[in-house]
Structure 1
Amino acid sequence: MGIGKSKITSSINVDDMLKKAESNHELEAEKQDADKRLTEIREAKEALLKIHRDLLDAIKAEGEAAVILQEAISSSNNIINGIYNAIVKAEQNTQFKATIKSEHLAQLQQLLNQAIETWKNMLKNHRSEQTKMLTEHESNMRKILRRNEGVWFSDFWMKVLGIFLFVYTVVLGMVVYCST
């Protein structure tokens, strides 16, 4: 009995086996790279979701501040009317007459207007800070897309990828078919 071909088994093509092993190795390396990129994308997504939640909280706080400011404006008018009504009532129910000069009321109104302007400026600054944060967020998103981080393909590049994979599969099939 010598070394030779068995009648039962066909010949073993060592080159094909090496090519398959090499392609399996390349496929595994690409898979690991894809897993790494997917992890990076998930981390970026979590960071963006956190920023989005923070922005929503800031917008909610701005809305609450605006409501409080509107209530302060309306209550300041009520306070002035209440003071005036109390003075009139006190004048009617007392034996001596108390007078409030119009310049004092004007001074009070001026102080209230200054307080309202201060609140308006604070709200304006808050809105500008929110606009700045939103601009920074948009800039970060543009940077991520510009560096091609993440999985995003335009319609054109998806078509190119699809055609390339189809041609690659057909050529590979023809090579396998011709070699056997």
Structure 2
Amino acid sequence: MPSTLAEQIFESFLQRGERANATHQLGDLGVDAVPILKSLFNGEAKNRWGVSYSKLGIPLDCGLVTIGLLGTLAKLLEPFVRDCLRSEHIYAAEALRAIGTLDEASIIELASCLDKNSNLASEAAYTLCCCGAEGHEAVIEVVNSSPFASWILSSAKKSYLEKEVK
């Protein structure tokens, strides 16, 4: 039986029927969720068998979604989110978008995703537009070398501008 709130939440992340509620419960903690999430992403949080929740897949998904709920409150977790993006984790781009202002390293990592699988590229491009980083030199470099990246960024800009008009 989980003894701490963090353990209860991470165990709930593993249960299909409890996942959404646990994600929101953690998000509702606001800034107090940050150290709990940090323990997930840095591998310190382990289950009763000593296995890191970060190695179990779904808890990372839920952690990234929770970062999306926390938005700018989760800025300190940006390096962990960037590591997930480097692993081509689809929810990582959305989490970075929610954080809002991005470190140089995150912009470069997002730019490198522009010519990867279409879902990740699309999310990365939209995040770059939302965060005002679509003109960064790393983005321009990728776009100039890849017709796909150019198209995906152009589509993201269009979507972003349509959303802004509404």
Q: What TM-score, normalized to structure 2? A: 0.21
Q: Work out which of the two has the higher radius of gyration on C-alpha atoms and give 1 or 2.
A: 1
Q: What TM-score, normalized to structure 1? A: 0.19
Q: Which has the higher contact order (CA 8 A, sep 6+)?
A: 1
Of Structure 1 and Structure 2, the greater helix share is in 1
